Amino acid sequence: MRCQWCESVNVIETTNTVYWELPDGTKAIEIIETPCVECQDCSIAYQTDATVTAIEEQLFLIDTKRLEKTITYGQLLQQPRLLKRNYFDFSV
C-alpha cells in the first residue's frame, strides 16, 4: 500500500475520528474508530475510497434522525437500513 498523498510505502492501517455531515444537511456527527490509513512520512491520516463509500451509502440508507451525535464506525454500519441498497447508484 502507498500513501495517496506522498506515495510513501511507510503507511499503517489504523482508526481515527471523523466528522460527517448528514445527507439532509441537518447536522454533522462524530464517527469514532473509523478505519484509516496513516502515513508515517507525511503524517496524513485519511479514509480509503471504500470507507468513504461505506459511510456515505449507510447514511443515505438509514434513519439518520435516530443517530446520536457520536457513534462508532461499527455501530453505524450495523444500523438497520430503510432500503436494501442505494437504488440511485448507477455505478454498480
Question: pTM for the whole thing?
Answer: 0.89
Decide which of 86 and 40 is more confident: 40
54-77 confidence digits (pLDDT tens): 999 999 999 999 999 999 999 999
Q: In the prediction, which pLDDT does 84 show?
A: 76
Closest of 52, 64, 53, 57 to residue 84, by C-alpha: 57
Q: What is the SS3 string spanning the chain? A: CCCCCCCCCCEEEEEEEEEEECCCCCCEEEEEEEEEEEECCCCCEECCHHHHHHHHHHHHHECHHHCCCEEEHHHHHHCCECCCCCCCCCCC
4-63 confidence digits (pLDDT tens): 999 999 999 999 999 999 999 999 999 999 999 999 999 999 999 999 999 999 999 999
